[in-house]
């Protein structure tokens, strides 16, 4: 593959609806993909997802507004 060519890689594909719990979707993704060294996520993820990632020892970054509650 040449220097300017880009390659896409699909790690896992899962049909989801608004009724599916975020933590179950993330859990299935992690269980069916190589273990990530770091997940970069947007602000829409719930505290349940954060707890799941902590429990699974997965490092992650989620942007947050700085205030007295955010370390």
| Residue 35 in domain | yes
Per the structure, the count of domains in the chain is 1
Range of 45's domain?
22-61
| Residue 3 in domain | no
Average confidence score pLDDT of the chain: 86
| Residue 67 in domain | no
pLDDT of residue 12: 82
| Residue 13 in domain | no
Closest CA to 39 of 23, 25, 59, 63: 59
pLDDT of residue 66: 81
Strand pairing partners for 39?
Answer: 60
| Residue 7 in domain | no
pLDDT greater than 70 at residue 71: no
pTM greater than the 0.95 cutoff: no
């Amino acid at each position: 593959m040449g220097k300017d060519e880009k390659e896409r890689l699909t790690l896992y594909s899962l049909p989801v609806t608004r009724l599916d719990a975020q933590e179950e979707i993330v859990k299935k993704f992690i269980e069916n993909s190589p273990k990530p060294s770091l997940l970069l996520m947007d602000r829409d993820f719930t505290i349940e997802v954060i707890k799941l990632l902590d429990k699974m020892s997965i490092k992650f970054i989620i942007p947050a507004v700085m205030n007295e509650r955010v370390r």
